[in-house]
Amino acid sequence: MIKILIVDDEKPICDLIDLNLSSAGYHCESVQDGLKAIDRIEKESFDLILLDIMLPGADGYGIMEYIRPLGIPVIFITAKHEVKDRVKGLKLGADDYLVKPFDVVELVARVEAVLRRYNKTEQKLTAGDVVVDVEAHRVTKGGRQIELTNKEFGLLVLFMKNKNVALFRETLYEKVWEDEYFADSRTLDLHVQRLRKKLGWEHSLVAVYKVGYRLEVSQ
């Protein structure tokens, strides 16, 4: 399993990131202090580090200097939004830079993009008895193959990577159809209905009032 270290001095943010990345199938640890982060990195092997800049003990830039020779991918997650801060982080060797506050869907997408660059992506996603082989573009339920259209498959992958997270209709449509969402469009609803029927998810893939949809699964 992919192991991710979250380094942020705000525990609620660490917990939020942990919740969403764990739902997406990653194993997460978190620390709120720069020196403790270095200690964890010395003792454990991580596939990715999410790193804040303003930290007690040692700041993110100093930690980045320590991490760079180890070859571990890093995404800066920080409230520092000025261009000079982004440039400095990227020049130090960070793979990406995400400014707070951020959308959890964007966070998961950026994590996946960086891991894919390093050939560290998980190729199989699971939710109950449904298994998705992303690379093979294959879906099974209870061992039986389920035929999905490309759009249905794209929606399923988004839901399974964001379990128990309410996803906005606009986000789902724009990610899968790669087009601007129109409020009166029924296309998304029809695809979700077909997905529910094919997977028997009438009670798992739920509508969220004035938001969109959420895949509810037991953790």
| 145 neighbors 130 (Cβ within 8 angstroms) | no
Rounded alpha-carbon distances, angstroms, from residue 145 to 26, 130, 134, 138: 25, 10, 14, 7
Q: What is the pLDDT tens value at each position of the chain, 219 positions in all?
A: 789 999 999 999 999 999 888 877 788 999 999 999 999 999 998 999 999 999 999 999 999 988 988 889 999 998 877 788 788 888 888 899 998 888 888 898 899 899 988 887 666 888 889 999 887 889 999 999 999 999 999 999 999 888 888 898 888 888 888 877 676 668 999 999 999 999 999 999 999 998 999 999 876
- The pTM assigned to this predicted structure is 0.66
* Domains along the chain with CATH numbers: 3-117 (3.40.50.2300), 124-215 (1.10.10.10)
